[in-house]
Amino acid sequence: MNIELREVVSHFRIYGEFVIAVPFGTGHINDTWQVTFDQGGTLLHYIVQRVNTNVFRKPEALMENFVRVTEHIAARIREEKKSNPTTRRRTLEVVPAHTGVPYWRDDAGNFFRCYVFVEQARTYDILETPGQAFQAAAAFGRFQCDLADLDGRLHETIPDFHNTPARLAALEQAVRADVAGRLAGVGPELDFILARREECSRLIDLQAQGELTERCTHNDTKLNNVLIDDLTGCGCCVIDLDTVMPGLPHYDFGDMVRTGTSPAAEDETDLSLVTMRFGMYEALLRGYLSGAGKFLNPVEKSLLPFSGKLITLEIGIRFLTDYLEGDVYFKTKRPGHNLDRCRTQLALVRSIEMQFDAMRRLADSL
């Protein structure tokens, strides 16, 4: 698809001359560009995104969440600045369209939004040090904490997003349909997942029994969804807010374990490189609790180690489902890409299982 970015950005309240737009980031869902404007001789950057409306069916409601959440956090940061004027904490800031709404749609139905580029910070697909893991997890923990007193319930931008048994049911449906004729090649992966069937409903069941509480959560806490400040090394801004909605905080912590503990890429094909590094787990746990420890109750806290395993299994299930359905959901770059991603997740589940007792002991001791 050929998108004329100069035309797209002309619909947003940005002053100055358009200079260039370049594709940005490594996300699997939306299309992202960094756009440069010349404003009186100074070059300023913005992020423009085309929201994937096959995935996010109600993008206007999504943007309503987005604005509520970012305004709430902006107020927190303003408050914090009174006692700590040099804080480097930031939040995404929407640039409205000329019409005043926080998005613009073209005639073909493409849905665009724009926000201010956060300078002097970057994301890491693979974390390099436990210090970074601590900071990134602290930022996500604080994010949940900041939203704990948000009034009213947010829209569910994707219903049942982290309903693991529903994800398993979708996989079983994809197995039955086998639309892409790929079932014969995934026997070991399927066996691995089905052997863990009972565990898939553990958190959802506890929620139904009233043991776990719904909170306002991020739901996509891949560690490349937090910007790390170049100057201070702090997790300074949580991004990718499309799935911020009611959920269990465990899935947020779990996704940090999934994406922050392995030294291998999410689609690594050499599975011997995939391993849960305990030191990174410890840093994530300590970092997350530094932000979220204030509101988690003992039952919630005791299930954090399990959440790392559960969401890694869940994302493995989703990659396998998409592989069987013919790669219709996640962006792929090569044949078998989703199957490679699935195998990486399952290798990580295995590594977590091998270290699970120690993971639990650590969580109990904090």
Q: Which residues bind ligand GN1 (CB under 6 A)?
A: 27-29, 55, 220, 222, 225, 240, 243, 266, 315
Provide the minimum distance between the beta carbon of 102 and ligand GN1 in the complex, in angstroms, as a whole number: 19
For residues 245 and 91, give the distance between their C-alpha atoms in angstroms, rounded to a whole number: 17
- Which burial class, exposed, middle or buried, applies to 188 when counting CB atoms under 10 A from its CB (0-12, 13-18, 19+)? exposed
For residues 303 and 348, give the distance between their C-alpha atoms in angstroms, rounded to a whole number: 18
Q: Between residues 27 and 249, which has the closer beta carbon with respect to ligand GN1?
A: 27
Q: Is 221 in the site for Mg ion (CB under 5 A)?
A: no
Stretch that binds Mg ion, among 76-84, 100-108, 236-244, 358-366 (CB under 5 A): 236-244
Provide the minimum distance between the beta carbon of 92 and ligand ADP in the complex, in angstroms, as a whole number: 5
Query: In this chain, which of 9, 14, 21, 27 binds Mg ion, going by CB under 5 A?
Result: 27
Residues 71-130 close enough to bind Mg ion by CB under 5 A: none
Provide the minimum distance between the beta carbon of 348 and ligand GN1 in the complex, in angstroms, as a whole number: 12
Decide if 215 contacts 248 (C-beta within 8 A). yes
Provide the minimum distance between the beta carbon of 75 and ligand ADP in the complex, in angstroms, as a whole number: 19
Q: Between residues 2 and 54, which has the closer beta carbon with respect to ligand GN1?
A: 54
Provide the minimum distance between the beta carbon of 174 and Mg ion in the complex, in angstroms, as a whole number: 25
Binding site for ligand ADP (CB under 6 A): 24-25, 27, 29-30, 32, 47, 92, 115, 117-118, 123, 224-225, 239-240
* Partner that binds at residue 11, options ligand ADP, ligand GN1, Mg ion, none, CB closer than 5 to 8 Å by kind: none
H helices of 148-270, where?
164-177, 187-194, 197-200, 202-208, 249-260
Residues 47-76 close enough to bind Mg ion by CB under 5 A: none
> Nearest-CA neighbor of 352 among 301, 300, 278?
278
Q: How many residues are listed for the chain in this entry? A: 366
Burial 321-345 (b: 16+ CB within 10 A, else e): bbbbbebebbebeeebbbbbbbbbb
Q: Between residues 50 and 76, which has the closer beta carbon with respect to ligand GN1?
A: 50
Q: Is 254 in the site for Mg ion (CB under 5 A)?
A: no
Q: Between residues 232 and 269, which has the closer beta carbon with respect to ligand GN1?
A: 269
Long-range contacts of 93-100 (CB under 8 A, 24+ apart): 94/63, 94/66, 94/67, 94/70, 95/12, 95/13, 95/14, 95/46, 96/12, 96/13, 97/11, 97/12, 97/13, 98/11, 98/12, 98/13
Q: Between residues 223 and 349, which has the closer beta carbon with respect to ligand ADP?
A: 223
- Chain residues that interact with Mg ion, rule: CB under 5 A: 27, 225, 240
